[in-house]
């Protein structure tokens, strides 16, 4: 049954931390359920890299395309109604083709690079694109400076994230993950402000290690989260991730992947945690904690699922608030 919450809570200001595919789905639900402009998404840019001289920001684009209703729901990344003429021509020329940019997606990248070259920030460009595509939620890259996630393999090599993820198909075993290019980076003023002003902070069902941790690693972010109402949704269901290498990363790092492991990963910042109905039996064995946990259907196959989960997240936040 769809959880109900008072219409007043549609006025809630929600700030969500998200990566790409799974995170974007919940953002679509939140965007639908909340009053226009009451959702701010802070999006991971640790996956960003340069390809053919163009700045690529995969999670930011997945989120914007999803909120604009333009996402390719089959791949989970890129644009729907896409054509691939440029990629085919590049292939014919023997150019690198391991990272596939469709023609429409390429136009977005060309324009973003032109604006970056003019000195605009990623935050400014994202706001401009959101306006063009009629997105009324606010989308903020987690920071404007390069903050690459680096993967150290068990063989000792350091890889850029897209090298690991797309080119090597997540096959190398991970020994270590370095966030923010191993530098200290402060959360931007807009990011910190969006967290401070939120009635509820949501951690989307994105990869904890490489989508959410980079945002949490920004100076100032954890401090704000510790003082706010925070609800997370597990991206791990029955020990697996629906998409992507989250479960494999837990295994590589010596932790059994489970919803409980996700809850423990966020210990210290969470007030509420939603895990999938399929893990209900497992949850009965979890150690007690101050975090209020709740089962719900977290698999989002259509918009109704996205909206139902968004309502469940907000209604859990509201109940925690009312119980205080
Ligand atoms: N993921 C792939 O597995 N293969 C690709 O060729 C690929 C191209 C691509 C182009 C633009 C974009 O925004 C994303 C793209 N992704 C691709 C997805 C992306 O690299 C990953 O899903 C994220 O980095 C993980 O969150």
User: Hey, what domains does the chain have and what are their CATH numbers?
Assistant: 3-148+179-323 (3.40.50.10680)
Share of the chain above pLDDT 90, in %: 86
Ligand 1 and 58: CB distance under 6 A:
yes
Ligand 1 mean position, distance from CA 105 (Å)? 11
Ligand 1 mean position, distance from CA 168 (Å)? 12
Q: pLDDT tens, 135-180?
A: 999 999 999 999 999 999 999 999 999 999 999 999 999 999 999 9
Question: Is this prediction's pTM over 0.85?
Answer: yes
Confidence of residue 62 (pLDDT cuts 50, 70, 90): very high
Averaged pLDDT score across all residues of the chain: 94
Q: What is the mean pLDDT of residues 212-219?
A: 98
- For residues 240 and 18, the model is more confident at 18
Q: What is the mean pLDDT of residues 235-263?
A: 90
Q: pLDDT tens, 101-123?
A: 999 999 999 999 999 999 999 99
Ligand 1 and 100: CB distance under 6 A:
yes
Matching residue, tokens 């209900």: 280
Atom of ligand 1 nearest to the CA of 169: 3
Q: What is the mean pLDDT of residues 24-49?
A: 97
Q: Does 220 have pLDDT greater than 70?
A: yes
Confidence of residue 1 (pLDDT cuts 50, 70, 90): very low
Q: pLDDT tens, 178-211?
A: 999 999 999 999 999 999 999 999 999 999 999 9
Mutate to test the pocket of ligand 1, among 24, 43, 99, 105 (most ligand atoms within 8 A of CB): 99
Predicted pLDDT of residue 4? 55
Confidence of residue 288 (pLDDT cuts 50, 70, 90): confident
Ligand 1 and 257: CB distance under 6 A:
no
């Amino acid at each position: 049954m769809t959880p109900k919450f008072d219409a007043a809570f549609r006025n809630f200001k929600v700030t969500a931390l998200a990566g790409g595919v799974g995170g974007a789905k919940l953002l679509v639900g939140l965007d639908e359920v909340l009053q226009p402009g009451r959702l701010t998404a802070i999006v991971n840019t640790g996956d960003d890299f340069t390809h053919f001289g163009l700045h690529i920001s995969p999670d930011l684009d997945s989120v914007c395309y999803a909120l604009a209703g333009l996402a390719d729901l089959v791949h989970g990344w890129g644009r729907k109604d896409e054509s691939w003429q440029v990629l085919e021509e590049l292939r014919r020329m023997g150019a690198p083709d391991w990272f596939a940019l469709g023609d429409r997606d390429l136009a977005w990248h060309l324009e973003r690079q032109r604006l970056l070259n003019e000195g605009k920030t990623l935050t400014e460009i994202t706001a401009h694109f959101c306006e063009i595509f009629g997105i009324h939620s606010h989308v903020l890259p987690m920071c404007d400076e390069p903050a690459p996630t680096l993967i150290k393999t068990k063989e000792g090599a350091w890889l850029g994230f897209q090298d690991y993820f797309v080119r090597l198909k997540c096959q190398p075993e991970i020994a270590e993950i370095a966030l923010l290019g191993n530098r200290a980076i402060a959360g931007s003023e807009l990011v910190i402000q969006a967290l401070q002003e939120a009635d509820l902070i949501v951690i989307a069902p994105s990869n904890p290690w490489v989508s959410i941790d980079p945002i949490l690693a920004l100076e100032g972010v954890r401090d704000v989260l510790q003082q706010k109402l925070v609800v997370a949704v597990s991206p791990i269901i029955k020990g697996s991730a629906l998409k992507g290498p989250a479960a494999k990363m837990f295994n590589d790092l010596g932790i059994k992947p489970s919803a409980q492991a996700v809850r423990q990963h966020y210990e210290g910042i969470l007030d509420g945690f939603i895990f999938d109905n399929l893990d209900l039996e497992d949850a009965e064995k979890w150690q007690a904690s101050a975090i209020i946990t709740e089962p719900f259907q977290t698999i989002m196959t259509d918009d109704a699922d996205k909206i139902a989960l968004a309502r469940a997240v907000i209604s859990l936040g509201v109940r925690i608030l009312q119980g205080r």
